[in-house]
Structure 1
């Protein structure tokens, strides 16, 4: 309710100014550059609540009116489909019902800085949608339609980041890695080389900023621990029988491109390139974190907050043998072998990172945590019936497979790994048939240029 009040009493004057400038862009003789610069300046200074009001106003005021299309609908309904007028009337209706928002966004996208503005605009739209009660889909779908035209075929190119790449690009990727953050540029240097690779997907209108990038470790067999893929200071790891490419960090730099499938394209192009470069590499998989497993899933379950989950707090005990449960209860001073007391003991133990150094506790916790984590990534769904975990949603949505044997216990025992996912990491497997499926899905996949790749 407070949020609604703030939205009503916010800086509506600023919203009106931005909307007026947007409406001004419709005029053919409008000073486009001047108006667009005004929009950017005002928009960048707006708060989230004001942006919500702006999105609402754009949807309501930049829309086709009923009276504008009603005569054409009536004429079409009265026309027989075999009549020569049918395609003419249909084309006219399509033209008349074309979104006024789309026309403006197309103008904006063709101006210097326009595409980047729209990327940030949609990123804000997605952020607002998480809490807003408004239906913002009409605006979002218009921008998605535009992006699907801009982010395809000749506009995109893949580039490998090497020691020969511009320092600014290496530094940018170092600063944008949120999966495994880096403290120094030297650490980024350890992630590029013969068996540590980095690839980035660029758009020709945004050549100084990759839209998404991926870090790859070439290994012998499937890496199941972060220590197997994260490079150590002092040089590359030696492996004479490299046969697997592990994707261990994938980062999008543009929130506004969420849901457009560019991650799938990036992985597909990298798989295609690596297979052609080295025929011995036949296996492709990730070593991925499980963000939210502890704070937004297991911890709430142990506290009894299970309303939105398939697994209930009373079901946690079923993952433990009676002996393991009794051992855990003994660690906190004893208790009955029943759900609430075991959950309280687990909450106490897992809230302290010291458990990861205790061999007996690790033995008791390994199988239950692995199986609960697998249930989380494979079975728990969001309101759209997609995997609740965002990383699982990304890779499973891309076509990767996962099984319980791909869930790795204490694969990342760092403080961050324990707080994020009780140290668990997952291998999502990209099978041999996956690339051919990608080719069928993206008609122009093979026409995405690969630049800056050096023969090794």
Structure 2
């Protein structure tokens, strides 16, 4: 085999510029030599890996990138000329190149995928015209129409979807795509105020998402995480936890203790990588204090197992690259089924969820909504509107907090039930049990809100039991979403079709009257 320049991404020192340039220029010679004579190259790892330096050089060479990605995406990737090894070798190179890029360079990688390997619109228009012409012909056979429809459908598939499919076939390819999508979502989020300029990136996201959806659901495995689980899994649970940070190993041991459960979905080829996981407290009634759940020292499950009548889902975390795929909802249904087998006496499955958007919403409403101002002015004797909305001092005063709390609870219920984005509720936490971090679509109808007076404000006056984050986001108010097993489909249909949220009527008559007056037809009151 001819001598070639060999660089590894693991090299401590970057190669000098002239050698870097030669590396990129000779890339295809290196690939060809490797593919022709694999017997002389027993170890692929490190042979022509892209380093950070060579990746940065390659991404600036548009012609090189087009050729590299074309080789991956080509229908004729594996051929007698290229050999059977070419596909995996070049796809692996693409992944190594991408991992050597910074965020700005990754955006350029995304743009090349979209611009040069998206839908061929000229081809699509031609196929559509051919289909319309054939469909209007009385002589067209069903077979001709069927083949033409398939041809049209094929032109609508972006070429970059083939790139994702081929990456997914590599060892570790699924994790690479999950992380790549997380990068893409971060990019889209950074341009959220320029929606018109990110349509192409959203199309790319749809392709990655479709690839993940098609591959994941048939290969997911539900596992309970315990103190006996591999340390690497426990470490990742602590690292990924997005709702209530795990402080230390003692905290982790408590969360997987006798009266607690942690369940996660794992992909068959990624046994130590929790894709989505949920934390559950087994209690005798619906939980209203997250601090009690997080700090309570568990008793033996055998001593009071029969007292367990409620499973409270207090945290669910999905890897960012899987946002919007609805793994959380799928996970909850599986966990409910398993818990009912282990504890048949459990009748109530509910969440204890934060309300991260409430305080920000209230600040805005004070400026534009007379009704909200009047509600807060009604308690002006204990504090000004600015003091209530913008400071936390009153929380430390029992007398003030007792007067302020009922008003905030009503306004919080109003926020949860009436504020909409289109036909769906505004509050992102409604999707806590489906997609915790970046959900844009409320799954609230899969549960039902408990009554407004039972929104968790019981520890509102006890700052020692509240997190700084909880106080900053929602004055520490939390909400229970009750997972009504017998009404899931009915509530879901009502919400998705009509935007109606189901609320249990656990409050008294006056509160029910207030609820009807404020939210009207947006909610449906049901008996407990």
1:24 aligns with 2:68: no
Structure 2: 5+ residue stretches without partners: 1-55, 192-196, 434-441, 460-464, 494-528
Partner of 2:308: 242
Q: Residue 143 of structure 1: which of 208, 224, 227 is its match?
A: 208
The structure with the larger Rg is 2
1:430 aligns with 2:489: no
- Whether the aligned pair in 2 keeps the contact of 1:12 and 1:50 (CA below 8 Å) is no
* 1:386-424 superposed Cα distances (whole Å, 9 cap, x missing partner): 433321234441612214134111545233321232111
1:404 aligns with 2:452: yes
Q: Residue 389 of structure 1: which of 384, 406, 427 is its match?
A: 427
3-state SS, counterpart of residue 246 of structure 1: strand
* Bigger mean CA deviation after superposition, 198-207 or 31-40: 31-40
Task: Report the Cα offset of residue 65 of structure 1.
Answer: 2.6
Task: Report the Cα offset of residue 141 of structure 1.
Answer: 1.8
Distance 1:203 1:438, change over 3 A: farther
3-state SS, counterpart of residue 265 of structure 2: strand
1:346 aligns with 2:388: yes
- CA distance in 2 between counterparts of 1:299 and 1:285 reads 29
Q: Residue 195 of structure 1: which of 235, 259, 262 is its match?
A: 259
Partner of 1:415: 468
- CA distance in 1 between counterparts of 2:250 and 2:98 reads 37
Task: Report the Cα offset of residue 249 of structure 1.
Answer: 1.1
- Within a 5 Å distance, the mapping from 1:211-290 to structure 2 comes to 211-233=275-297, 235=299, 239=304, 240-252=306-318, 254-290=319-355
TM-score, normalised via structure 2 length: 0.69
Aligned residue pair count: 401
Partner of 2:396: 357
- CA distance in 2 between counterparts of 1:197 and 1:164 reads 13
* Bigger mean CA deviation after superposition, 158-167 or 227-236: 227-236
- Whether the aligned pair in 1 keeps the contact of 2:260 and 2:279 (CA below 8 Å) is yes
Structure 1: 5+ residue stretches without partners: 1-10, 305-311, 329-341, 441-456
- Whether the aligned pair in 2 keeps the contact of 1:69 and 1:97 (CA below 8 Å) is yes
- Whether the aligned pair in 2 keeps the contact of 1:18 and 1:42 (CA below 8 Å) is no
Distance 1:184 1:394, change over 3 A: closer
- CA distance in 2 between counterparts of 1:276 and 1:435 reads 19
Distance 1:174 1:66, change over 3 A: closer
3-state SS, counterpart of residue 346 of structure 2: coil
- CA distance in 1 between counterparts of 2:492 and 2:266 reads 19
